[in-house]
Amino acid sequence: MLSQDQKNEARRQRRRQHDEDMDMDTDTEFCETTGPGALEIMLLMGQVLSMERRFWARETSTDWWDRIVLQVWDDSQWLRNFRMRKGTFMELCDLLSPALKRQNTKMRAALTVEKRVAIALWKLATPDSYRSVGNQFGVGKSTVGAAVMQEAKAITQVLLRKLVTLGNVQVIVDGFAAMGFPNCGGAIDGTHIPILAPEHQATEYINRKGYFSMVLQALVDHKGHFTNINVGWAGSVHDARVFRNTTLFKGLQQGTYFLDQKITVGDVEMPIVILGDPAYPLMPWIMKPYTSSLDRSQELFNYRLSKCRMVVECAFGRLKGRWRSLLTRSDLSQRNLPI
């Protein structure tokens, strides 16, 4: 038989064994609840690294632009869709190339100047969304937005001062004289470009017709060519106020915009004038229609002035008819829209 001391020692050994078993169970449970151990993590990383890499860009198609537009379309299709013939388009690309050409990178090839210009023209000529234009050309919608602003800035820097200019004043005067108004150097008016409600001072952009807009003021010659433009004023601002805050007004006021060329009408010396609607102020160098009750000579004056002033209305009509994005609410910022 075992003595009492032997029994106590056996009991202590059984208790130690039981405690060790409990510690092992606790460690196993802790590993199961808290996640894999270091060895398991390393194994998982090896499996992840051996997986096939995913593409970081979605696959798109440029077949329509490369094969159809550039190779198949004739001038009528170019004119209908890009608002210019292919020869004019290529000439425009050559002029803008120094400002628009980009270098290829290791990640991707840069868009060609031709494709960049085509994307911008398509967006300006149609009311399509950025996503729709991007799908058309096989690019992302952010690329479309960037292309529009890049081309607009390039045109502003490279072509604006060369094309929107007064030109030969005598030819303009002779053109308006043939239409019935003597010594006239242009017709002026303003039009509203719809915009989304601005975040700040939105009420200032609500025009008299009740929608948010930005004012484009333009002076045109006898053929409707733009010779002076100003854009950026809020839609609620009156045409006369816009006009008084332009360099055109200052030049006309100081007599430096046109040549000092006067003719005699009756017993009055008449300088070169511009024609405006009743919203503009009557000045020695700007003519506007008579109002209220009119006699026969005043009606004849109004008729001839209106006939010559119609060129600016037609110019705005052609502008918005050619670039249909001007007929829809522009989502550009107040800083980018004037460009």
Of 115, 130, 160, the last residue of a domain is 160
Of 160, 184, 209, the last residue of a domain is 160
pLDDT of residue 34: 53
Whether residue 11 is predicted with pLDDT greater than 80 in this model: the reply is no
pLDDT of residue 104: 84
Q: Tell me if 139 sits within 8 A of 60, measured CB to CB.
A: yes
Of 160, 191, 226, the last residue of a domain is 160
For residues 136 and 282, state if they share a domain. no
**pLDDT (tens digit per residue) in 60-103:** 788 999 999 999 999 999 999 999 999 999 999 999 999 999 88
For residues 143 and 242, state if they share a domain. no
Is 120 inside a domain boundary?
Answer: yes
Is 6 inside a domain boundary?
Answer: no
Six token digits for residue 98: 């120094």
For residues 135 and 269, state if they share a domain. no
For residues 295 and 218, state if they share a domain. yes
Q: List strand residue ranges (DSSP E) for the chain, in order.
A: 184-194, 213-220, 226-234, 263-265, 268-270, 273-275, 286-287
Q: Tell me if 146 sits within 8 A of 139, measured CB to CB.
A: no
For the chain, the straight-line distance linking the first and the last C-alpha, in angstroms and rounded, comes to 108
**Whole-number Å distance between alpha carbons of 258 and 169:** 7
**Whole-number Å distance between alpha carbons of 152 and 30:** 64
**Whole-number Å distance between alpha carbons of 151 and 331:** 17
Is 192 inside a domain boundary?
Answer: yes
SS3 of residue 316 by DSSP: helix
Range of the domain at 169: 165-327
Is 148 inside a domain boundary?
Answer: yes
For residues 99 and 230, state if they share a domain. no
For residues 171 and 285, state if they share a domain. yes
Sign of CA dihedral 23, 28, 32, 34: positive
Q: pLDDT-based confidence at 28, cuts 50/70/90? A: very low
Q: Tell me if 314 sits within 8 A of 224, measured CB to CB.
A: yes
Q: Mean of the pLDDT values across residues 156-180?
A: 94
For residues 186 and 322, state if they share a domain. yes
Whether residue 26 is predicted with pLDDT greater than 60 in this model: the reply is no
Q: Mean of the pLDDT values across residues 195-220?
A: 94
Query: Which pTM value belongs to this model?
Result: 0.79
Q: Mean of the pLDDT values across residues 107-133?
A: 92
Is 287 inside a domain boundary?
Answer: yes
Count of domains observed in the chain: 2
SS3 of residue 52 by DSSP: coil
For residues 185 and 213, state if they share a domain. yes
Is 44 inside a domain boundary?
Answer: no
For residues 149 and 224, state if they share a domain. no
Q: Tell me if 325 sits within 8 A of 124, measured CB to CB.
A: yes
For residues 102 and 143, state if they share a domain. yes
For residues 297 and 193, state if they share a domain. yes
Whether residue 144 is predicted with pLDDT greater than 50 in this model: the reply is yes
What percentage of the chain carries pLDDT values higher than 90?
70
Is 213 inside a domain boundary?
Answer: yes
For residues 172 and 284, state if they share a domain. yes
Smallest CA-to-CA distance from 82 within 131, 136, 135 is with 136
Is 290 inside a domain boundary?
Answer: yes
